[in-house]
Structure 1
């Protein structure tokens, strides 16, 4: 299973420009907005925000798993609250409930001014190692 320190070295994370930072004792993902992340009208594409939410919840989930255990997203719900087109986005995920087979997490994305851009929840299915 991939650990948090290995996540940002993955191709997807590099492509999206995401990186992990520790801020006030919490793990956050930051993403600099650039033109490659924008849709036709000049705002960050909803799919980019969805990926950032999913990734930040995945970080929170991975922090609660043993090294040999994995988890994959099986469901996600997103509310887009405001458009954004410049600056840096910050996402912070947290685990709401951890069960044996399913983990539910939540995340918020904020802009440079601290405004909520999007919120989301996701359910992850826990995968045990093969014996």
Structure 2
């Protein structure tokens, strides 16, 4: 299993400005503070930044179910954008839907500061040996 601290120390997480919090039920949420570097021309958070948050939150959930000799690589992702957001903080919570021998599928929801659903989606990861 990859430790959350290892993921958080990665260059991508630092570049995007993501961090994690763990709620009282032990569920890990990925948090992204919105800044101007994440916004597109119209002033809203770019869809790619939201997709990255979705992928990351699912990866966090998946990595909690992998063995010490396993890793996972995203092979497919689908996202629905429900509302624009232009400030504050985004919070994503991923979970595993199904784990097989070679493939693992997860889903995530992304919410804003007012607890509005901003986006949701699913991703399929290929389990690899490390």
Q: Scaled by the length of structure 2, what TM-score is found?
A: 0.96
What do the CA deviations read for 1:4-46 (whole angstroms, capped 9, x no partner)? 2210100000000000110222100001100000000000000
Structure 2 gap segments, 5+ residues each? none
Contact 2:2 2:64 in 1 (8 A): no
Distance 1:24 1:45 in 2: 31
Structure 1 gap segments, 5+ residues each? none
Q: After the TM superposition, which residues 42-61 of structure 1 pair with which residues of structure 2 at under 5 Å, given as runs? A: 42-61=43-62
Distance 1:94 1:35 in 2: 29
Q: Which residue does 2:30 correspond to in 1?
A: 29
Q: Which residue does 1:98 correspond to in 2?
A: 99
Distance 1:119 1:128 in 2: 29
| Paired residue total | 129
Distance 2:51 2:24 in 1: 24
Distance 1:10 1:115 in 2: 29
